[in-house]
Chain A
Amino acid sequence: MPEEIAIVAVAQTPARRRYADSEPSMLMELTNRLLAETGLPRSAVDFTIAGSCDYLSGLPFAFVSNVDGFGAWPPVYESHLEMDGAWALFEAWVRLQMGDIDIALVAGSGKSSPGSPREIFPLQTDPYVAAPLGLDPVSVAGLQARALLDAGLATERDFAEVVSRSRRSGLSNPNAQVKKDVAVDALLKEPYYASPLRKHDLPPISDGAAAVLIARGKRARELTKRPVWIRGIDHRIDSHHLGLRDLTDSPSCRIAAKGVDLHGGPIDVAELCVRYSPEEIVLRRALELAPGTQINPSGGPLCGHPVMATGLVRVIEVAQRIREGSARRGVAHAASGPALQQNLLCVLEAS
């Protein structure tokens, strides 16, 4: 019988082009906020797990200093993934199901400002046949976008509508970095950057961090009046070889959706990792989201993309809406790798 696990507190920094603060400093602020909100001492957190990526700051072992942010004295039980914090949430959720510990702190953080993401991210690709070409995620997103157009599954206007709607939604999100009211026709006049993508189809470069506290059943109810229950987390990966993939679809999303029983209830809100506008179209299809589903009311990554925290921020945005009462059940999505290669889904629900 899987343990009931809930999110009991959330915290995020706004996404910003550049923070003066170090990553550990940001994480310290978030950790303190979570502990203050729940009234917990640091020692009450049984397991701490973080996601981050050394390459963003160009320093092997950069993740080690992030421990300063969470606190590790007296020594703590913690771990680290070189992945978005959403995968750290997955590991924490799995760990709590062993039933022997109650509370976990999960974080994701990254400063993309010091380096050039466009030059760093090709290193995620096959080191023999792709990385030396500098094959960056924007270019791959361009290939995916064209595939959608060619298949008649989307138009450039559809892409622009995603951008227009998302950036307008960002206007009501205090954590958004890029937010504006811009009409679809104005967007379509812009020149191509990686055709058929235009610069506005891309996410901003951001620094930022996010963290949540999760707890098991009874303990969760003690810590907050409004626990947000994690009904399921599943993550899957597609082939790395672009030539083997159908870029218009996401088999890994489909499998994950079954794994979390995505359509086992209404989806009041979906926060999806849409870094490039065409990704929303792929995800809507693959997740079989009904037309009219509320997607990315936060504005999504098109408004702020603190790499390594972006996925966890999606979880937080859904959780907050459930806590506020504007949604009862929602799904958060995180992605990693070129053209949505790896996908994680997290279904959250009110009590």
Chain B
Amino acid sequence: MSCESSTPRVSDGVHRDRLRRMSSLPPVRYQLEYPYTRTTGPIVGAFLTALRDGKLLGIRCGSRVLCPPLEYDPASGETLAPDFVEVGPGGTILSWTWIAEPSRKHPFAKPFAFALIRPDGADTAICHAVAASGPEALHTGGRVRTQYRAERRGAITDLYFAPEAEAESQYIPPGKGAVEMTEHLISLEFSEPLSPHRERYARALLDGKFIGQRSPASGKVYLPSKGYDPIERVQMSERDDVVVADTGTVVAYTVITPVQYYGQKETEPYIRASVLLDGADQPLGQQDIRTIPLAEFRSGLRVRAVWKSRAERSVVDVDNRWGGTGAVIERWEPTGEPDVSFEKIREHNW
């Protein structure tokens, strides 16, 4: 992939060069994490309640018993009555696979098997984990038994299986109440290098400068740039970089009253504004203003960036997608110049 001229070309050689020149700022790391809470409805709820209580349930569907239970007949789509049947604890392996290097999300940290297991009394198979001494302990047609974790939450992870010969006898005291909700903490990590233009942008921020890119096709200055001019559909390169002033005009703002949610660090209201820097053709968004009182803040206000000391500047939060200025700006302060009229900034509303 080449971005060196306005006539795109693909060349493996160029691509490798770009990889070599790629960022020596650390890669952007981010996490997508949320503790999802799922209400189960009556069928899944009954199934998970039974797991908590050390039992495996199926549901009657015509002449068959389905495990795990479904809310509907898979053949017709008709809603099923909650006609549950206890199945297992024994079951038969219908297929299996030995996982030599478990992932962090698997039920076990040491090697184990996933298997399709038909519990005794059921006509369908459940896919679940089998803890076994080794792959030699497993074979299609082999017998397994349900096992339950010591700590159970009314979740599918309360359960696992073991080969009959290795299974433990367990006494599972029943819990109280019906499980109506189950939790799943989903946590994913991502890491990608800063793309070349974003690396230059981030480095400039560390130097106390704003770098935008001027489109060779339209002459418009994009800040922060995405590395291309989307209107003319032209890739941009280092030679399109331009320094943009650190003074500008507030063109839009709101006051954010933080909503509390998992991972939220904000607690107090603050102004979030967009600033059209002098020399840029589109506003720089998501500038948080915490030192100018709301009564003195307005669109049209002339402001300048006050930079943190070099040692305190951080671009850890600069990434390839969002705008943002990391943590390099201490605050924005009014310059004292007269306001810019609404008509002049009307079209820069972002």
Contacts and interface: CB of A to CB of B under 8 A. Distances in A.
Contact between A and B in the complex (any CB pair below 8 Å): yes
Interface of A: 13-14, 16, 18-22, 24-26, 28-29, 31-33, 42, 55, 57-59, 62, 65, 68-69, 71-73, 111, 113-116, 118-120, 122-123, 127-136, 139-140, 142-147, 150, 174, 191-197, 239, 241-244, 247
B10 A134 contact: no
Contacts of A18: 19, 192-193
Contacts of B19: 18, 20
A140 B74 CA distance: 21
B140 interface: yes
B311 interface: no
Given A13-B1, A28-B8, A68-B226, 5 more contacts: A20-B195, A29-B8, A73-B231, A127-B36, A241-B124
Interface stretch (B101-109, B287-295, B340-348): B101-109
Interface string B172-206: 00000000001010101111110110000000000
Contacts of A57: 190, 192
B10 A195 contact: no
B131 to A, nearest CB: 13
Contact of B97 (A42, A142, A241): A142
A115 B188 contact: yes
Given A122-B105, A143-B127, A241-B74, A115 B190 contact: yes
B224 interface: no
B32 interface: yes
Contacts of B231: 71, 73
Contacts of A122: 105
B235 A136 contact: no
Interface of B: 1-3, 8, 10, 12, 15, 18-19, 22, 30, 32, 36, 38, 40, 44, 47-48, 67-68, 70, 74, 94-101, 103-107, 114-116, 118, 124-129, 135, 140, 155-157, 182, 184, 186, 188-193, 195-196, 226-228, 230-231, 233, 235, 320-321
B8 A68 contact: no
A341 B317 CA distance: 39
Contact of B99 (A24, A131, A194): A194
B18 A20 contact: yes
Contacts of A68: 226, 228, 230
Contact of B190 (A21, A26, A58, A191): A58
B217 to A, nearest CB: 12
Given A115-B189, A241-B70, A25 B104 contact: no
A133 B196 CA distance: 38
Nearest to A144: B95
